Amino acid sequence: MRITKLWALFCFVICGGLPSLAQPRTVPDSLFMTPAQNNRWLVALQKQGVADQWAQIRSRYFLVSPQVSSPTSPAGNVPILVVEGIVVEVTDAGDPIRDVLASQLTPAKVKAITVLEREPAGLYVNKISTGWIIISVADKQLRKALRRTDKRAH
């Protein structure tokens, strides 16, 4: 019984929740995936609950070190991450928004996660569309911190 409680505590502290037994989690060693891998990842992400979605997003965007693209893994294979209307520069280690999200966002503070495999109609982005991940934050203090940080960055 004691080991189970310790395991649950470890999962909440490290992973942000209990591990899902229904779907195995894979932690990528890079932000970049091939287009086919990226599409499979997005489809799998859409089918999960908010806590599992956040765990997958966190493992891909925040637990690996930010990297620039290489010839074998172009930057076009990273879905655009938007949190509260702010585009997060996930390949920049010095992005203050990225740091705030990595340290403060938890599944309890997420209101909703919307995953789009293609860019929305009527929106033009000068980038091959590899998906969009749109996160709405429920925590008022975190929303304010994101807005303050975004204003300082510009």
Lookup result for tokens 């395991």 = 7
Residue ranges per domain, the chain? 20-153
pTM of the complete model: 0.70
Q: 152 near 101, Cβ under 8 Å?
A: no
Exposure of 129 by Cβ count < 10 A (0-12 exposed, 13-18 middle, 19+ buried)? middle
Portion of the chain with pLDDT greater than 70, in percent? 64
How far, in Å, CA of 138 to CA of 108, rounded? 8
Name every residue whose Cβ is closer than 8 Å to that of residue 106 and which is 6 or more positions away in sequence.
16, 54
Tens-place pLDDT, residues 87-145: 888 777 677 888 889 889 999 999 999 998 877 777 766 666 688 899 999 999 999 99
pLDDT at position 6 over 60? no
Give me the amino acid identity at 120: P
In the chain the beta strands, taken as DSSP E runs, fall at 80-83, 86-87, 110-116, 132-137
DSSP for 108-130, written as a single string: GGEEEEEEESSPPTT---SS---
Bridge-partner residues for 86, per DSSP? 83
What is the model's pLDDT at position 144? 92
Report the run of H or E that residue 61 belongs to, with start and end: helix 50-61
